[in-house]
Amino acid sequence: MAQSIDEQLDILMRGVEYGDDQLYEHMRDELRKRLLTANQTGEPLRVYCGYDPTAPDLHLGHTVSMRKLRHFQDLGHQAIFVIGTYTALIGDPSDRDKARPLLSQEQINKNTRTYTEQAFQILDPDRTEIRYNGEWLGRLAFGDLINLASNFTVQQFLAREKFSERYETGDPIWLHEFFYALMQGYDAVVLEADVQLGTTEQLFNIMAGRKLQEAFDLTPQVAITMPILVGTDGHIRMSQSIGNYIGINESPASMYGKVMSLPDEVMENYFNLVTRWPPAKIADLMHKLHTGTIHPMACKKMLAWEITDIFHGQEAADAAAKHFARVHQQRELPQDMPTHTLHEPVKLVDLMAEQELTSSKSQARRLIRQHGVRLDGEVVEDIHTVISPNQTQVLRVGKRRFLKLLSPSH
């Protein structure tokens, strides 16, 4: 049985926030009109969201808008997954207290290669249009940029929270950062978008798209914005550059373990934004947490299993749960840890970096100083430690990384 327009609206507006009740009602009303027109004409809505390839992998934070895109697809609409091969040259300044480092086109192209495959873990390939905004942004002439910029004032940009904070403190605001909203807004023009998705921090950019669509004699798109997903630190937006992320391509054990490490106070944020749970179940869990009738650890295990199941399936989620219990709760060693044979003495920091237990030697030294490295269960305290190929040893880095060190005779 087909769902009514009101039922569709309830699905599509679930979790949407603007920080303004009046704007919420206005956008809900606009979306209702678009849905009614689509129902009458049989023409699906064109719904888009952009993702800048500033790092090689998508993470859980990206999936918040991707799941909303999937909701539109499930109701028969066309999803447009835009890979920001040109906007990534600048990087969205919406949540930044300083300019992002500029990426080269080579770095962006390298990061782009994995995005489509990862996106189809959530989106329906048959109803997904993949676009790269370098297709049209790369063809703009300087006169085109002047025309786009003429629709905005400097005051409008300086009124944005992060820009105003930087202006007040005297921190630099680079001119190219202003271009980002123009570029994202022009995406909406070229795509003739009916709806654009993003986070609450991107509302200015999405509204810039509405402004430019009007300037090009198009009907302004509906803005759909959702709260940000907090990173594993519990405070800052999930980001690969910060390192507080959970990648959707991570192993089941790593994904499960990272969720289990989340601070208790961010669980509701994750319940609402990255699970498949209905609102009634989330409300019941939050009630039980507040009244103490369920332990936070038990609740977090449910969350970790749910997220791991979404990306890896039930069998992998069950195995990850058992792995976590064995290694982190029962303090046993994992059964499937990787091995490395030592043929000669080696500095511990060199070994950790070479075996990718850390991203660099400096990170290895930092973890040792923080007592985050153990050799056969004993905390390593000396950054100059040298390991000799004597007998089988187990190296543990942080909570989740293990390496069995073998002697040449094994």
Least confident of 142-156, 214-228, 350-364, 394-408: 394-408
CATH classification at residue 66 = 3.40.50.620
User: Does residue 196 carry a pLDDT above 70?
Assistant: yes
Residue 170 falls in which region: left (phi positive, over 0), alpha (psi -120 to 50) or beta: left
Residues 172 and 70 in one domain: yes
In a domain, 232, yes or no: no
Residue 286 belongs to domain spanning = 252-329
- Domain end position, chosen among 298, 329, 360: 329
**Is the Cβ–Cβ distance between 179 and 209 less than 8 Å?**
no
Give the relative orientation of helices 252-260 and 296-312 as an angle to the nearest 10 degrees.
Answer: 150
In a domain, 221, yes or no: yes
- Domain end position, chosen among 271, 294, 329: 329
pLDDT bucket at 83, cuts 50 / 70 / 90: very high
Q: What's residue 207's pLDDT?
A: 95
Using a pLDDT cut of 70, give the percent of the chain over it: 93
How far is residue 51's CA from residue 66's CA, in Å, rounded to a whole number? 10
In a domain, 360, yes or no: yes
CATH classification at residue 301 = 1.10.240.10
Stated as kind and residue range, the H or E segment containing 61 is helix 60-74
Structure-token pair, residue 314: 């039930």
Q: What is the mean pLDDT of residues 335-348?
A: 82
Residues 48 and 177 in one domain: yes
**Is the Cβ–Cβ distance between 198 and 205 less than 8 Å?**
yes
Residues 344 and 325 in one domain: no
Residues 187 and 286 in one domain: no
In a domain, 13, yes or no: yes
- The pTM of this model reads 0.74
In a domain, 235, yes or no: no
Q: What is the mean pLDDT of residues 305-322?
A: 94
**271 against 107, higher pLDDT:** 271
Other CB atoms within a 10 A radius of the CB of residue 260 amount to: 19
In a domain, 233, yes or no: no
**By C-alpha distance, which of 127, 124, 144 is closest to 215?**
144
CATH classification at residue 372 = 3.10.290.10
**102 against 117, higher pLDDT:** 117
How far is residue 65's CA from residue 16's CA, in Å, rounded to a whole number? 10
Please name the amino acid found at residue 107.
Answer: Q
Q: Which residues contact 380 (CB under 8 A, 6 or more apart)?
A: 348, 368, 373, 374
Residues 68 and 181 in one domain: yes
CA 347, 352, 353, 354 torsion-angle sign: positive
Other CB atoms within a 10 A radius of the CB of residue 393 amount to: 16
Residues 19 and 91 in one domain: yes
Residues 257 and 207 in one domain: no
Residues 300 and 350 in one domain: no
- 215-267 tens-digit pLDDT: 999 999 999 999 999 998 888 888 877 778 898 988 999 899 899 889 899 99
In a domain, 100, yes or no: yes
Structure-token pair, residue 367: 């973890």
In a domain, 163, yes or no: yes
- Domain end position, chosen among 329, 351, 374: 329
Residues 160 and 281 in one domain: no
- 378-406 tens-digit pLDDT: 778 888 888 877 656 788 888 778 888 88
> How many residues appear in the chain?
410
- 30-55 tens-digit pLDDT: 999 999 999 999 999 999 999 988 87
Residues 263 and 222 in one domain: no
How far is residue 410's CA from residue 407's CA, in Å, rounded to a whole number? 6
Using a pLDDT cut of 90, give the percent of the chain over it: 46
Residues 212 and 323 in one domain: no
Q: In total, how many domains does the chain have?
A: 3
Residues 127 and 268 in one domain: no
User: What is the side-by-side order of every strand in the sheet holding 378-379?
Assistant: 339-341, 401-406, 393-397, 373-375, 378-379
Q: What's residue 99's pLDDT?
A: 57
| E strand spans, 289-392 | 339-341, 346-347, 373-375, 378-379, 386-387
